[in-house]
Amino acid sequence: MNSIYLTGSSGFVGTHLQSYLSSGYQFRPYNRGEAVFVQEDIVIHLAGKAHDTKNVVQPEEYYQVNTELTKKIFDAFLLSNASVFITLSSVKAAADVVAGVLTEEVKPNPQTHYGKSKLLAEQYILEQSIPAGKRVYIIRPCMIHGPGNKGNLNLLYRVVSKNIPWPLAAFNNQRSFCSVENLCFVINELTHREDIPSGVYNMADDEAISTNDLIRYIAESLGRRPILLQLPNNFVRAFARLGDWLKLPLNSERLQKLTESYVVSNQKIKSAIHKSFPLSAKEGLMRTFRSFDHIGVTTD
């Protein structure tokens, strides 16, 4: 049985990954503050400081966790007999705004401390000499979701579950999402297949989804019809600016996140593994939305 040194074991992806791989792997979790010493066959580094939309995280926290901890884990891997290193970066290490489709060939230009800290970790890994017999994978997922997910999808779910009309239907956008099950599937492939080259790989579901379609899928998961309002875009933007001052649920930053396009290509990883993902974008999202009702999202 293969053994895995796992950081971020109690996080969203970590808990799903352990469940997904439970039958074929033995895990040893990293505990914050402990000395890093790898004796396992595989290192999977999931721990990180997530992007803070409330702007309360100090910049140095991103670099301490996303950059320096990654360096420490990777150095321990290089000194060990482990053969595989997998780390979760982010598409935000490459770009905060996407024109067209984001591929691995884009010149990284992150604008936030979160993205910059992730990119610095990537650059450190890529600058090192990798010994023969070792494989190193940097995965850049877009927005990860699944049962137990927290984030903007919960906000959308609350809107639809309370029969509140969706006022942003006039905005046309396309966004890529990443089902946690598809992510776990890819990680599983990387752990045991020696034919997949080391490198940086984007991770996204096959299809990009509009926010209007998200509203439709949520309504479908609830057995309802979506209520889509096409209010003038200028009016909505003015209201969002008012929300900046009055601390309303809809402010300029949230409006941008809900309506911007951010399409991520998964062709590199799909070509490398030569397999289809287990879930389509809609199937993964429907599983996420159906789980919300069971964990009481509507009563928050």
- Asked whether 119 and 200 are in contact (CB, 8 A), the reply is no
- Asked whether 85 and 43 are in contact (CB, 8 A), the reply is yes
Give domain status of residue 181, yes or no.
Answer: no
90 lies in the same domain as 239? no
Give me the pLDDT at residue 189, please.
Answer: 97
**Which residue range forms the structural domain that includes residue 162?**
145-175+206-263+276-300
Q: Which residues contact 65 (CB under 8 A, 6 or more apart)?
A: 47, 48, 49, 117
213 lies in the same domain as 232? yes
Over residues 235-274, the pLDDT tens digits come to 999 999 999 999 888 899 889 888 999 999 999 999 999 9
**Which has the closest alpha carbon to 221: 158, 170, 288, 146?**
288
116 lies in the same domain as 163? no
Give domain status of residue 198, yes or no.
Answer: no
Mean pLDDT, the chain, rounded, equals 93
8 lies in the same domain as 103? yes
Give me the pLDDT at residue 300, please.
Answer: 42
Res. 297: pLDDT tops 60: no
Tally of residues, the chain: 300
pTM above 0.85, yes or no: yes
Sheet holding 25-29, edge to edge: 25-29, 2-7, 42-45, 84-88, 135-141, 199-203
Query: Within a 10 A sphere around the Cβ of 129, how many other Cβ atoms?
Result: 5
98 lies in the same domain as 159? no
Which three-class secondary structure state does DSSP give residue 78? helix
- Asked whether 89 and 50 are in contact (CB, 8 A), the reply is no
117 lies in the same domain as 217? no
Number of domains in the chain: 2
Give me the pLDDT at residue 104, please.
Answer: 98
Over residues 12-32, the pLDDT tens digits come to 999 999 999 988 899 999 998
Give domain status of residue 29, yes or no.
Answer: yes
159 lies in the same domain as 45? no
119 lies in the same domain as 234? no
292 lies in the same domain as 153? yes
